[in-house]
Chain A
Amino acid sequence: MKFLIFENEFNLFEDVFHAFNMIFYGGKLSWIVKQSSQELKDIQEINNYDVIFVDIDLSKNSIKDGFEIMNDIYKVNSNANVVVLTGHGAIEKKLEERLDHHKRYKILNKPITIEELQNSVKV
């Protein structure tokens, strides 16, 4: 199982991912973290991952925000498993407004717990 994570403050969440890996995946889970949209050189790479986590508010250095990254992802793979990471409440309406097409995605509210993380990656 491989995760692609767009998050600029991953150090605040990485312990949850490690614990989740130990409990549910026997240490076989791997992930790559991108702090900005431009760190992903080729958008086609998303097809190499099982789940893609996208933080809506990325760092100021990121050229694209989470909504734009999601639109890029769905252009390449409309069935991609995307989990939206957010510290804001009521993000659904904004997602409806900003996404080009209504797609399936899950929302993971910060702070994250192991149980919520597990629920978000269940296919």
Chain B
Amino acid sequence: MSYLTKISFTNITSIIYRICIIIYSLFLVYNLPINFIYNIILALVYLYISYLFIKFNNKSKWISRTRLLTDFIYMFLVIYINNLEPNYLLYFYLLIPFINLLNHSSKVLNPLISIVNVTLPFSFLAYYVYSIDYIKLYFLPLLVISILYFLAYSKISIISYSNSLNSIFQTFYRDKFTTKSTHHILKKLIFEHNKSENIFVNRLKINNVIIFKVSKRGNIKLLLGSDFISYYLIDDPQILLDKLSTNLYIKNHQFIYNLTSSKTNIFINITVSNNSYILAIDLKQTFSYNFILDIYISKFLLPFFNKLIDVIDYEYSLGLERKRQIIEISKDLQLTQGIINSVHYLNNKLNPVVTYFDLKKNQKFVSEEFREDYDKLILASEKKASRIIVPVIQKMRRMLSTHSKNSLYDTEIISFKRLFSIIRDVFNEEEYLSLIVEENPTFNFDDKLLCNSETLSYAIEEIIINLSKYSDGKCVVNFAQYEDFAIVTFTNRFHNKQKSSSELAEIIKLFNKDGINEILRKNNHGLRIIKEYFTLNNISHNILIEDEYFILKLKIKKHII
């Protein structure tokens, strides 16, 4: 790494600051050319020492102070050698706090320290080089400059605070983003907030931030907190909810968490996608300036928490989806377990049947001595076999009816918008096939249909897999509107090198028939799946080949409520 690349922006600020001092010194010397050569030597020495400080790039407090001292020594020597007019000196020193407002670490210096830092050597110089009376002249501009400086400092520190809040999200998304780790954002928020040196933010130190979700029935339920929350109790939750419905925030609503009684706090309500969340910010001390608090909450906290609630709401939706998937998986697991149990049951119970035929088969190997006993055994086995058949069939029927109630058969009402997005999503995953949707302004995508969206997705995926084998790369989808049904048509130009025209015609004939033909079941897995799933979803389906176009038409019944 080259030396130049090591120089950060903050180093550059520091360099500019010192160059300004030198330029100003030279400007003064040019206007009052006394001891010119000494000034040049002095500037070069100062420049070299500054270069050494930057080269070592040491950020320790003592190095920083020594560097500042060097600056003052240089200033003192310039003034001393040149015996400057007091006015020049005054302007020079009063500007310095602004030049060095953002120090080398880009942190905002406390205005009091900064002004004292810069003005104390000036006072010292004013006393020794000129006269003590001059301090009186200095006092008024110092006061004005201090006020200006304080305002500038406040503005910069608030910008710095705002940036630090925004950077929390950047860091979180970059480094830590996994669901269920959102509480890290709250921890970081409290850390950044409490370390802010802004005089206002500094007075609102935060103990904890706790986020609650308001259930559909209006109950307040804990979601997460900056600390682990094992217990909480909100006084009069309904009153709190009522107040929050008409106010931006509520102050000091008493609540208890982890055996801590919070008396100084702020409650904020944020609603995202019809989900209502409440934030409780437990403060370390009271704050009574409502006007400033309004500005602070609306300009800083709300934008921050809106982003945070977006993340939380997204997590919440993911959690619901995960739960749904687990239910589906457990249904499938039950089905699998049911199949295993059925096979085990059959293997056991059908043993007498297998034994009966096995005894008959081995009859010829039995010696004369046991012939009679063996025949009795066959008779006994036959009786057992005949006894077992009926219960086995009954039990298998029961099992079949139980395990048919799995997720593949569950239906839901979805809109044609959703159907369209299923088609679009499946196409988006396919690299070699693009979807062209024929616009049809008369089609109402808000109409509903009753289906199992999973099997419908599978069927559409299978269509796409088949199309991508034979298509020229483009598929046109058209939605046509009818009174109580819709026709969705997939059209694409196809090339068929694998099957003869007669074979293809035969497959299409089988596909267009009602019910699943055994030949289709054995020979064409893809089309069988498509047909099976469309049948499950009560979707009529038909394939046509016109010239070199392959056309699949789906007739979908609308669900009219």
Contact = CB atoms under 8 A, between A and B. Distances in A.
Partners in one complex: yes
A18 interface: yes
A42 B366 CA distance: 37
B503 interface: no
Contact of B344 (A19, A88, A114): A88
A13 B351 contact: yes
Given A87-B347, A87-B348, A111-B347, A22 B366 contact: yes
Interface stretch (B58-66, B234-242, B377-385): B377-385
Interface of chain A, helix or strand or loop or mixed?
loop
A99 interface: no
Contacts of B349: 12
Given A12-B352, A110-B351, A23 B362 contact: yes
Interface string A85-111: 001110000000000000000000111
B429 interface: no
B351 A23 contact: no
Nearest to A27: B370
B350 interface: yes
A57 interface: yes
A26 B367 CA distance: 8
B548 interface: no
A68 interface: no
Interface in A1-36: 9, 12-13, 15-16, 18-19, 22-23, 26-27
B347 A110 contact: yes
A9 B358 contact: no
A2 B344 CA distance: 28
Interface in B208-234: none
B412 interface: no
Given A22-B366, A23-B365, A16 B347 contact: no
Interface residues of B, number: 27
A26 B377 contact: no
B480 interface: no
A119 to B, nearest CB: 14
Nearest to A116: B358
B343 A19 contact: no
A78 interface: no
Interface string B519-541: 00000000000000000000000
A16 B358 contact: yes
B340 A88 contact: yes
B248 to A, nearest CB: 61
Contacts of B377: 15, 18-19, 22
- A-B pairs, top 3 by smallest CB distance, nearest first, are A87-B347, A111-B354, A111-B351
Interface of A: 9, 12-13, 15-16, 18-19, 22-23, 26-27, 57, 87-89, 109-115
Interface of B: 340, 343-345, 347-355, 358-359, 362, 365-367, 369-370, 373-374, 377, 380-381, 384
